[in-house]
Amino acid sequence: MPCTTSNFDNVGPNYNQSNDRINVLEAMLCALLSELENMGLSDQVMRDAEINGKVDVRTFWEGHKELDVHRLTNELSLFLSRFSEHERVLMNNIMTKKI
């Protein structure tokens, strides 16, 4: 999953403000959980974190992924609306290596 649409390379002097800090921490957590998921380790790590840390990681992760899908669906729809139906079919063929 993409972790953020923001640029955290230049968080600036306001990094310690609550919202900026929460956004950075959420992006970090997303990156870590995405990597664990890609390695097939996310279920075990989330289960252990929930038991040992007494936090509901799974609910956060499922909600975060749902928000990412919604956001990316909207962004993709806006992007693709610039192209004709023929161009979209061609792009799909390129991405699925039919060409």
- Statement: residue 1 has pLDDT above 80: no
Would you state the pLDDT for residue 6?
A: 53
pLDDT in tens, 42-88: 999 999 999 999 999 999 999 999 999 999 999 999 999 999 999 99
Would you state the pLDDT for residue 7?
A: 53
Residue 27's nearest CA partner among 10, 3, 45, 46 is 3
Question: Are the C-beta atoms of residues 38 and 32 closer than 8 Å to each other?
Answer: no
Q: What percent of the chain has pLDDT over 70?
A: 83
- CA–CA distance from 45 to each of 28, 37, 42, 48 (Å)? 16, 10, 5, 5
Q: How confident is the model at residue 98 (pLDDT cuts 50, 70, 90)?
A: confident
Would you state the pLDDT for residue 71?
A: 95
| Mean pLDDT taken over the chain | 86
Residue 65's nearest CA partner among 46, 44, 52 is 46
Section 18-30 average pLDDT: 89
Distance of alpha carbon 99 from alpha carbon 93, whole angstroms: 6
